[in-house]
A and B are shown apart, each in its own frame.
Chain A
Amino acid sequence: MNLIVCVKQVFDPETPAASFKIDPEKKRAIPPKEKPMVISPYDESAVEAALKVKDANAGTKVTVLSMGGDSAKEVIKHGLAMGGDEGVQLTDPAFDDSDSFATASILAEAIKKIGPCDIIFCGRQEADWDAGQVGSGIAELLGIPSVTAIKKIQVKDGTAVVERILPDGYEVVEVPLPVLVTVSNEIGEPRYATLKGIMAAAKKKVTNWSSKDVPAVAAKNKMLKLFIPVREAKCEFITGETPEEAGAKLAVRLREAKLF
């Protein structure tokens, strides 16, 4: 089988709110200096899901695909170090202003160019723009079925049996291949890139494509502004001689405020 995983490089999404800054003119977040860029967490889950399918199906090839700047190579290498086989990197200034529509269109073209593929894996939502629609978009543009926010996938006889997360549990859906799935963290802890894996990744092939290979596409949505919402912090701190006393006083105060 041939599997493709789409991954994206993002600022560390666990950056505390206090050190999160934006450039309202350029409508971009300013990368925190001390923190390195990382693979978007759900994309890492997507790599894990693909590798689980590869583990269960001998002769499977996993291609890691990323659109981004030069440094996107790092997240491709990360996927390869985890156990992916080959990488494809899409880098061109012409791709820079892509919204979800343009991103999905460019990725769909790249996937066609990579060749026949059985399952495409994406994260359920990227951790920067939180758009949550590139996966579904790729599937629609390729004309294949999709299942979003999954926590398990198994392949048998040309179909994928997939568990899709619901607010009160999950559902089991059977879909014919080729299919696109978007993966959630419930798939399980992504495997570590071992030292051996990192060394092997250095030798694996990464193909570079620009807008000459895969044409850029115009965005559909325009961002008018980006801003940090102002929150009025008015916390009334309850104190006491001891933590126990503070706890008891909190109960009294909430009762006073008729909160219970």
Chain B
Amino acid sequence: MSENKGVLIVGELLEGKLASITGELLGIGRKLADSLGQNLSAVLIGSGVGDLANEAVALGADKVYVIDNPMFKDYLTDAYVGALEKLVKETNPEIVLLGQTATGRDLGPRLGFRLGTGVTLDCVALAIDPETKLMQKTKPVYGGNALAMYVGEDRPQMATIRVKSMEPLPKDASRKGEVKAFDPALDASKVRGKMVNRVKEEVAGIKLEDAAVVICGGRGMGGPDPFKTVLADLAKMLNGAVGATRPPCDSGWVPTINQIGLTGKIVAPTLYIGIALSGSSQHLAGMTGSKNIVAINKDGEANIFGVSHFGVVGDYKKVLPAFVAKCKELVAK
């Protein structure tokens, strides 16, 4: 068997474009490939991949494999794992990286087990050990209370990376790279399962994960109403989106797609305002990438203040209306 070489990232598409995670994967993939003195390749898998391969080159790839077939229009575990297994076996990469997304967290472990290698999910830091040349994979454990660093000797070395934990490279349209179609020649009859329906539960306004301002409410909001009134008001005024910790989602106060955290959305806005939430490690996992963190909580000892830049200790029912009124006044000026 030929030697394992190079870094392969598994890109993702979103509504006909490269998903932002693809840029993040290419950014860290480039670093790892450079420190190994090897190449970076990407694979784009879907239906109607079109020009996106060139964009992946502009974002750092030396080579892009395109698996373009109506069979891959929807994500189905069997089909995607089967296709990637063939590509990996043929190209023998040293490292394979995926995103910690709905797709990656399903695909990553299944592919890793098929290839007989140890995967590490949800990494927030990856580096090459200068001595052993092995990839060190660091990920939050215990809900984010601690970090653990892992290595594995099997090949390929595999990891998924947390959304928004890595920086993409600036797009450079002059970068040169090779684009290559890859046909995994999968037997469609071997794909178990089929997609019956896809149900969108989108909320109006700016998407939580893209918003520059996030207003997040916790269990202490006490019920669904404040989310629809004062939080929505504030979000509208600051051109932001409303999010929540898990309890308001579990209680049905807000749709679950608004959940921020370890098992919800990862946000990294310019301004995050957390109201009546304690700052559990599982929630922090989804928001500590925010540039400016503001907290309002009646408990001065709440963990959220430990990661905040600005804080007010007090009952949100009194603090928040006055805050919103003053914001309105200042914005109007």
A residues with a Cβ closer than 8 A to B are 11, 13-18, 20, 22, 27, 29, 99-101, 104, 124-125, 127-133, 136-137, 139-141, 145-149, 161, 164-176, 184-186, 189, 219-229, 231, 233-239, 242-248, 250-255, 257, 259-260
Chain B count of residues within 8 A CB distance of the other chain: 94
CB within 8 Å of A: which of B293-308? Answer: 294-296, 300, 303, 305-308
Contacts A235-B310, A244-B322, A246-B312 hold; do A140 and B147 have CB atoms under 8 A apart?
A: no
- Which residues does chain B contribute within 8 Å of A254, judged by CB atoms? 271, 294, 310, 327
- Which residues does chain A contribute within 8 Å of B306, judged by CB atoms? 17, 231, 233, 235
Which residue of chain B has its CB nearest to the CB of A246?
A: B312
In the bound assembly, the distance between CA atoms of A76 and B113 in angstroms comes to 27
Instruction: Say whether A171 contacts B145, CB under 8 Å.
Output: no
Instruction: Say whether B152 contacts A238, CB under 8 Å.
Output: no
B residues with a Cβ closer than 8 A to A are 74, 76-78, 101-102, 105-106, 108-110, 112-114, 117-122, 136-137, 139-143, 145-152, 154, 192-202, 209, 213, 238, 246, 250, 256-257, 262-263, 265, 270-271, 278-282, 292, 294-296, 300, 303, 305-315, 318-327, 329-331
What are 29 contact pairs spanning A and B, CB under 8 A? A15-B145, A16-B278, A22-B146, A27-B148, A100-B109, A101-B113, A133-B119, A137-B109, A145-B78, A146-B106, A171-B196, A221-B118, A221-B120, A222-B151, A224-B149, A224-B151, A226-B141, A227-B146, A231-B307, A233-B305, A236-B309, A244-B322, A247-B319, A247-B323, A250-B310, A251-B324, A254-B310, A259-B271, A260-B238
CB proximity of B140 to chain A, nearest CB, Å: 7
Partner of A133, one of B108, B114, B314, B324: B108
- Which residues does chain A contribute within 8 Å of B300, judged by CB atoms? 237
In the bound assembly, the distance between CA atoms of A186 and B294 in angstroms comes to 29
- Which residues does chain B contribute within 8 Å of A174, judged by CB atoms? 193-194, 196
Which residue of chain B has its CB nearest to the CB of A108?
A: B113
CB proximity of A260 to chain B, nearest CB, Å: 5
Instruction: Say whether A168 contacts B310, CB under 8 Å.
Output: no
CB proximity of A87 to chain B, nearest CB, Å: 26
Given contact pairs A173-B193, A235-B306, A254-B310, enumerate 19 new A-B contacts (beta carbons under 8 Å). Answer: A17-B303, A130-B140, A133-B119, A136-B109, A146-B106, A167-B102, A169-B198, A170-B199, A173-B76, A176-B192, A226-B149, A227-B147, A228-B147, A237-B300, A239-B312, A239-B313, A246-B312, A248-B325, A251-B329
Instruction: Say whether B154 contacts A220, CB under 8 Å.
Output: yes
Partner of B318, one of A189, A233, A244: A244
- Which residues does chain A contribute within 8 Å of B305, judged by CB atoms? 233, 235, 237
- Which residues does chain B contribute within 8 Å of A246, judged by CB atoms? 312-314, 319, 322
Partner of B202, one of A168, A229, A245: A168
The main secondary structure of chain A at its interface with chain B is mixed
- Which residues does chain B contribute within 8 Å of A189, judged by CB atoms? 250
The main secondary structure of chain B at its interface with chain A is mixed
Instruction: Say whether A260 contacts B327, CB under 8 Å.
Output: yes
Partner of A148, one of B106, B282, B294, B310: B106
In the bound assembly, the distance between CA atoms of A245 and B322 in angstroms comes to 7
Instruction: Say whether B113 contacts A137, CB under 8 Å.
Output: yes
CB proximity of B142 to chain A, nearest CB, Å: 6
- Which residues does chain A contribute within 8 Å of B150, judged by CB atoms? 221-224
Partner of B327, one of A15, A141, A223, A251: A251
In the bound assembly, the distance between CA atoms of A242 and B325 in angstroms comes to 15
In the bound assembly, the distance between CA atoms of A140 and B117 in angstroms comes to 12
- Which residues does chain B contribute within 8 Å of A18, judged by CB atoms? 303
Contacts A16-B303, A221-B120, A229-B147 hold; do A235 and B108 have CB atoms under 8 A apart?
A: no
In the bound assembly, the distance between CA atoms of A133 and B109 in angstroms comes to 5
- Which residues does chain A contribute within 8 Å of B324, judged by CB atoms? 251
- Which residues does chain A contribute within 8 Å of B121, judged by CB atoms? 130-133
Instruction: Say whether B149 contacts A252, CB under 8 Å.
Output: no
Which residue of chain B has its CB nearest to the CB of A175?
A: B193
Ranked 7 nearest A-B pairs via Cβ: A220-B118, A133-B109, A247-B322, A251-B326, A247-B323, A243-B318, A243-B314
In the bound assembly, the distance between CA atoms of A257 and B280 in angstroms comes to 27
